[in-house]
Structure 1
Amino acid sequence: MHIALKMSCASVSATSMLRPISGNMMAAAQQHRKKRSLAIRKTDAMNHAERQNGTVLDQIWMQGDPSSFLNLSTSENQTKSENNQNLGVIEEDENLNYLEKDPLIEKNDGNKTLNIKIKQKPEERENERISRQPSEFREEENSVVLRLNIGGVPFFVLVEALLHADPSTFLTKFVQLSHRAKLKVADAFLLPERAYYFQRSPLAFEAVFQYYANGVVHKPPELCPSAFSAELEFWRVPTSYIGACCSDSVSPLERLLESSKEDKVDDTSFEKLRFGQFRRRMWTFLERPGSSMQAKVFELSSTMFVMISVLGLSFGTIPDFQVIEYVSSGNQTIMLPNGTEIIQEDIEPIRIEHPIFVFTERVCIAFFTIEYLLRLFAAPRKLRFVLKPLNLVDLLAIMPFYLELMLTLMGVDDKKLRDLRWAFLVVRILRVLRVIRIIKLGRFSSGLQTFGMTLQRSQKQLQMMTIVLLTGVVFFSTMIYFLEKDEKGSPFTSIPAAYWWCIVTMTTVGYGDVVPATTMGKIIASAAIMSGVLVLALPITIIVDNFIKVAQEEQQTEQFKAELLAMEEQERQLQQEQEQRRLKFNQSQKEILINNREENRGNNEDNQLISGKQPLIFVSNA
């Protein structure tokens, strides 16, 4: 065999010597050598494709084998002794083999001992590795913490915290698996530490650990934004949990993809609900105005009702649009000179809203109530729907009317409000809260949403400005009080009374209703003005920069939305074309079957005629 191999090599070398070597062949060989010497730079997408942790986890989760899951309890009423027992140090057994080795066979070859590795299938090797695990590691139903080792750094996460987190995250699903199933998902199991090993960045995992500990994700400053996004994608932590201070690390495309994933989750969650198809259509109609022309008309109608309600509330306070109603304010006893007592009823004229504005208010409240109830009925997740900020605004917009109606049903009407100061104060507060309805326009106005996101991103700057401004107000108010309190007719009667003057001065408004009289007071006022200019000017540039960033991201998001809609439309058209082709193919197959049946039927008739079963024909001689 070796001789044949040498002969073949010699023949190949001989034939290669006969072929002339050109310059192009030399250049190609050098280029091929350079390509072999260069290392391949793998992207995050390539690494995710090679690492099958999430894929294996999804496969186990979709199979739903009861033996692959643990019976975990989320109760918080565990005794202290149980916690100490679960958290205590487990003594190591000297008989346990803590090294993971493949099976070896020792073979004596004279004076040498050779270790020959047995070739096994991956399934057999995995089952044998699991079977060699100690029995106490196979089930962890009573464990309080999940032991992890991320890139060589140990992490301990409470099982209860994992179970109360978002159910779609990687570790929330991972902790519910049995030990055998966890070994298939994890990269390795470290017996000395009794921890599941994942070959990931421990620095990036700090953000994931913060999410399970505090419910908020913060990006480490040393981490690249793309690596941070890749780590969140691997551990399946939604970007919606990223804190406002770190929201710049998420691109608009990732936010859009995350929102589209949430929409898809909502769509799939309707399948298990009662009246699922009907509620899905209603949810799409109410929450996605761009889904149809009818949804756009409903959005416009809701906006008009909000505007009518706010305008009615405003115009109802104009005296020319109000009506006068005479209300009894009590009885007065009058004593005449002859000793006769006369009880006289005091009637006081008051101005109330015109009945037209009252009727308009009730119609708008009825529309807002029906809209909110329809949204609540169609929502797949009730609690998540109620806790959304815009939905809380919708609830606060209709709540004052029903609370005022409840007071009226309790017998506390407008005529008795002046006698009951607490009820009068409550009704006034409820009427003031009606102006919250204007915030409902934020649901349909992209400008208001941009402004809200700008304020959210500028929380640190606004907090700094508020703290410095309050410090200046207290300082300058104290100074002006002690300098002006001895002056005759001084308006600065106390330090809190000087707060108004100081706020107006530091914000450079300057009403002029309260002014200092002494020279030192004017100097302090000048210092307050200059301090206010500095305090307000510094954060404004940062806030404007945040506004520009948010506006640009909104513009990019709109472009991404248009591209996604175009891609979805193309996919829908391709599906329709495939469906039409399938229908045409089925129709052609049916026609072919029908033609074959007719041909077979004709052939059978011809065979019957040929076999002599045709009818006899008699011909007369006449």
Structure 2
Amino acid sequence: MHIALKMSCASVSATSMLRPISGNMMAAAQQHRKKRSLAIRKTDAMNHAERQNGTVLDQIWMQGDPSSFLNLSTSENQTKSENHQNLAVIEEDENLNYLEKDPLIEKNDGNKTLNIKLKQKPEEEKENERISKQTCEFREEENSVVLRLNIGGVPFFVLVEALLHADPSTFLTKFVQLSHRAKLKVADAFLLPERAYYFQRSPLAFEAVFQYYANGVVHKPPELCPSAFSAELEFWRVPTSYIGACCSDSVSPLERLLESSKEDKVDDTSFEKLRFGQFRRRMWTFLERPGSSMQVFELSSTMFVMISVLGLSFGTIPDFQVIEYVSSGNQTIMLPNGTEIIQEDIEPIRIEHPIFVFTERVCIAFFTIEYLLRLFAAPRKLRFVLKPLNLVDLLAIMPFYLELMLTLMGVDDKKLRDLRWAFLVVRILRVLRVIRIIKLGRFSSGLQTFGMTLQRSQKQLQMMTIVLLTGVVFFSTMIYFLEKDEKGSPFTSIPAAYWWCIVTMTTVGYGDVVPATTMGKIIASAAIMSGVLVLALPITIIVDNFIKVAQEEQQTEQFKAELLAMEEQERQLQQEQEQRRLKFNQSQKEILINNREENRGNNEDNQLISGKQPLIFVSNA
């Protein structure tokens, strides 16, 4: 049987040797010889049909081996990479291995098992020695201030300081913190003459990534396809939130949704290193993701906002106010007999009903506790404070505490009339309470759509504002010099004519101020036509942006539902795989235990048989 197999193998090899050499084979051999002549060291990532640089990078970071980092991060757990498990014995427990034959049971095959292990270790040692040689040669460049890269044949030099100050989730920010030996496993190759790490990616797309590390903004090159550009950003792990406003159209709603989900995952992982991480993680999920809390928090927050706004509104109705008598000063009265009497002047004023004051304080207490809980649970405090919606939450409670500070400083209602600045500040603070209505934007998709429309229409709004202000100054100056000499003219100055010009150019026309001269009426007609042109042109673009944003919101909701379904399906598959793995491990344990028990029984039987075997003596008789 063995002879037949050898003959068949020999025949196959002979036929392959007698095959004629084609031109493609010659070209492939020359190409292979050229590759071998390059002074590069190919890494394990080149063995994959699909490049998994990011996967290898994540594995190294998850392992947390101190030898894989450059004194820039702490070690956590030390595990073996899945791509480098070359040993023949796969052990999950200390006393368990999954060989087809147990070396403890099969004594005859014990040497073979040891030979398998000894054959694998020298190959791993050779690989480590080869990497160590590369590491020793590159040790002088370890403290370099720049990271040398070669992207698709184009060299790039990026400052290490710029990489460390960038978003910590980006590919290169993690890559630069690795040791040279770990970088060799992540990169596609290492070019010895250039001392650069090679990645076979698009150099044109990497220029946008380089701009991000240089100035913090990503701009899409016009030569690139949007999908290819998005793929490169995904590989280098640059968030789409850093894309400039001029290039925001190149990002699809699905990519924005995936980016937001990645940010949520980053926030989830960042809780592991914080104090009370699990508790803060649950609190953050409850407060920042209302859908996960059965919309209880969303409804309660909306209810308090509405109660606060309604209380502020109804508190100004005279029928719901109470009269309070306040001293407005003292008056000295001289009687006919020469006696002086000091009389206190009491002035009745209307104030809010105490029930509205109590309601206001309850709402302020709720908003304060809500904001402090959000701030406590936030994994990134500065990022949390600078978010627009969180700034609105802060502005909603600031007026109450500033007014309370004025009261503690002794500036009460009686002294407000004497201190005009304090009276003005208190009035402004009370007006700012209406900002709480904007808090509804956190839970209202309509307000969010409107805000995104204004954000996308920044250029059109800026153009409209500049042109409108130019027209206001121009026509106000014209109308002032034409109408100032008329008797009883309301145009007493150029700033006084601004109101008339704004009302005229916006085609509102209150009629409280009108020109009297013929030339003034001609200027007013020109202002009206200019206002129509200035306002009509940008509005069409703004409406178009609103339609696009509304359509993207619908697509995002659809993508979100599909993404949740995919995550649920993936979770179920992982659970099934885990159950299969546990069942397999349990079955293997039972098989090994049974084999060991049978082996012990056979050994005991053999010992008993060998011990009781009778001795045969041959007599000379």
Q: Normalised by the size of structure 1, how large is the TM-score?
A: 0.75
Aligned residue for 1:76? 76
- Whether the 8 Å CA contact 1:203–1:220 is kept in 2: the answer is yes
Q: Residue deviations 1:466-501, cap 9 Å, x none? A: 111111111111111111111111111111111111
Q: Residue deviations 1:277-321, cap 9 Å, x none? A: 322222222222222436xx2211111110110011111112222
Higher mean C-alpha displacement, 271-280 vs 220-229: 271-280
Is the partner of 1:92 in helix, strand or coil? strand
- C-alpha distance 241-151 of structure 1, shift in aligned 2 (>3 A): same
Rounded to whole Å, the distance in 1 between the matches of 2:40 and 2:555 is 33
- Whether the 8 Å CA contact 2:45–2:51 is kept in 1: the answer is no
Is the partner of 1:538 in helix, strand or coil? helix
- Whether the 8 Å CA contact 1:485–1:493 is kept in 2: the answer is yes
- Whether the 8 Å CA contact 1:83–1:144 is kept in 2: the answer is no
Superposed counterparts of 1:53-452, under 5 Å = 53-71=53-71, 137-140=138-141, 142-189=143-190, 194-293=195-294, 297-336=296-335, 339-452=338-451
CA drift at 1:407: 1.4
CA drift at 1:46: 13
- Whether the 8 Å CA contact 2:483–2:491 is kept in 1: the answer is yes
Higher mean C-alpha displacement, 488-497 vs 563-572: 563-572
CA drift at 1:145: 3.3
Q: Residue deviations 1:219-258, cap 9 Å, x none? A: 2233211111011111110112222332221111111111
CA drift at 1:327: 1.1
Q: Residue deviations 1:11-30, cap 9 Å, x none? A: 99999999999999999999
CA drift at 1:62: 3.2
CA drift at 1:397: 0.8
- Whether the 8 Å CA contact 2:138–2:180 is kept in 1: the answer is yes
Is the partner of 2:84 in helix, strand or coil? helix
- C-alpha distance 525-215 of structure 1, shift in aligned 2 (>3 A): same
CA drift at 1:63: 3.5
- C-alpha distance 304-17 of structure 1, shift in aligned 2 (>3 A): closer
- C-alpha distance 16-161 of structure 1, shift in aligned 2 (>3 A): closer
Rounded to whole Å, the distance in 1 between the matches of 2:66 and 2:579 is 42
CA drift at 1:511: 0.6
- Whether the 8 Å CA contact 1:187–1:197 is kept in 2: the answer is yes
Is the partner of 2:344 in helix, strand or coil? strand
- Whether the 8 Å CA contact 1:321–1:353 is kept in 2: the answer is yes
Rounded to whole Å, the distance in 2 between the matches of 1:398 and 1:333 is 44
Rounded to whole Å, the distance in 2 between the matches of 1:111 and 1:303 is 74
Rounded to whole Å, the distance in 1 between the matches of 2:175 and 2:21 is 60
Rounded to whole Å, the distance in 1 between the matches of 2:109 and 2:585 is 70
- Whether the 8 Å CA contact 1:86–1:143 is kept in 2: the answer is no
- Whether the 8 Å CA contact 2:65–2:78 is kept in 1: the answer is no
- Whether the 8 Å CA contact 1:147–1:157 is kept in 2: the answer is yes
- C-alpha distance 278-329 of structure 1, shift in aligned 2 (>3 A): same
Higher mean C-alpha displacement, 47-56 vs 478-487: 47-56
- Whether the 8 Å CA contact 1:412–1:423 is kept in 2: the answer is yes
Rounded to whole Å, the distance in 2 between the matches of 1:511 and 1:601 is 106
- Whether the 8 Å CA contact 1:310–1:437 is kept in 2: the answer is yes
- Whether the 8 Å CA contact 1:107–1:114 is kept in 2: the answer is no
- C-alpha distance 518-252 of structure 1, shift in aligned 2 (>3 A): same
CA drift at 1:381: 2.2
Q: Residue deviations 1:413-453, cap 9 Å, x none? A: 11111112222122111111111100000011000011111
- Whether the 8 Å CA contact 2:60–2:81 is kept in 1: the answer is no
- C-alpha distance 603-406 of structure 1, shift in aligned 2 (>3 A): same
- C-alpha distance 82-417 of structure 1, shift in aligned 2 (>3 A): farther
CA drift at 1:342: 3.1
Gaps of 5+ in 2: none
Higher mean C-alpha displacement, 149-158 vs 359-368: 149-158
Rounded to whole Å, the distance in 2 between the matches of 1:31 and 1:131 is 28
- Whether the 8 Å CA contact 1:104–1:117 is kept in 2: the answer is no
- Whether the 8 Å CA contact 1:139–1:179 is kept in 2: the answer is no
- C-alpha distance 430-514 of structure 1, shift in aligned 2 (>3 A): same
- Whether the 8 Å CA contact 1:608–1:614 is kept in 2: the answer is no
- C-alpha distance 7-523 of structure 1, shift in aligned 2 (>3 A): same
- C-alpha distance 373-5 of structure 1, shift in aligned 2 (>3 A): closer
Q: Residue deviations 1:513-553, cap 9 Å, x none? A: 11111111111111111111111111111111111111111
- C-alpha distance 319-492 of structure 1, shift in aligned 2 (>3 A): same
- Whether the 8 Å CA contact 1:325–1:350 is kept in 2: the answer is yes
Higher mean C-alpha displacement, 190-199 vs 311-320: 190-199
CA drift at 1:124: 8.9
After superposition, the CA RMSD in angstroms is 14.9
Count of aligned residue pairs for this structure pair: 620
- C-alpha distance 78-163 of structure 1, shift in aligned 2 (>3 A): farther
- C-alpha distance 550-436 of structure 1, shift in aligned 2 (>3 A): same
CA drift at 1:151: 3.7
Rounded to whole Å, the distance in 2 between the matches of 1:136 and 1:600 is 54
Higher mean C-alpha displacement, 343-352 vs 611-620: 611-620
- Whether the 8 Å CA contact 2:68–2:178 is kept in 1: the answer is yes
Higher mean C-alpha displacement, 248-257 vs 32-41: 32-41
Rounded to whole Å, the distance in 2 between the matches of 1:151 and 1:90 is 38
- C-alpha distance 107-251 of structure 1, shift in aligned 2 (>3 A): farther
Higher mean C-alpha displacement, 579-588 vs 432-441: 579-588
Rounded to whole Å, the distance in 2 between the matches of 1:393 and 1:299 is 16
Q: Residue deviations 1:52-77, cap 9 Å, x none? A: 43233334333434343334699999
Rounded to whole Å, the distance in 1 between the matches of 2:82 and 2:492 is 64
Is the partner of 2:93 in helix, strand or coil? coil
Q: Normalised by the size of structure 2, how large is the TM-score?
A: 0.75
- C-alpha distance 441-113 of structure 1, shift in aligned 2 (>3 A): closer
- Whether the 8 Å CA contact 1:465–1:539 is kept in 2: the answer is yes
- Whether the 8 Å CA contact 1:315–1:321 is kept in 2: the answer is yes
- C-alpha distance 579-273 of structure 1, shift in aligned 2 (>3 A): same
CA drift at 1:193: 5.4
Rounded to whole Å, the distance in 2 between the matches of 1:169 and 1:364 is 41
- Whether the 8 Å CA contact 1:506–1:528 is kept in 2: the answer is yes
Higher mean C-alpha displacement, 545-554 vs 582-591: 582-591
CA drift at 1:346: 2.1
- Whether the 8 Å CA contact 2:63–2:78 is kept in 1: the answer is no
Rounded to whole Å, the distance in 1 between the matches of 2:8 and 2:386 is 78
CA drift at 1:569: 3.3
Higher mean C-alpha displacement, 165-174 vs 240-249: 240-249
* Bigger RCO of structures 1 and 2 (CA < 8 A, at least 6 apart): 2
- C-alpha distance 618-236 of structure 1, shift in aligned 2 (>3 A): closer
Higher mean C-alpha displacement, 570-579 vs 305-314: 570-579
- C-alpha distance 416-259 of structure 1, shift in aligned 2 (>3 A): same
CA drift at 1:177: 2.8
- C-alpha distance 96-108 of structure 1, shift in aligned 2 (>3 A): closer
Rounded to whole Å, the distance in 2 between the matches of 1:526 and 1:366 is 54
Q: Residue deviations 1:177-229, cap 9 Å, x none? A: 33444444344555665544433333322221222222222222332111110
Higher mean C-alpha displacement, 373-382 vs 509-518: 373-382
- C-alpha distance 382-28 of structure 1, shift in aligned 2 (>3 A): closer
Identity across matched positions, percent:
99
Q: Residue deviations 1:589-622, cap 9 Å, x none? A: 9999999999999999999999999999999999
- C-alpha distance 289-616 of structure 1, shift in aligned 2 (>3 A): farther
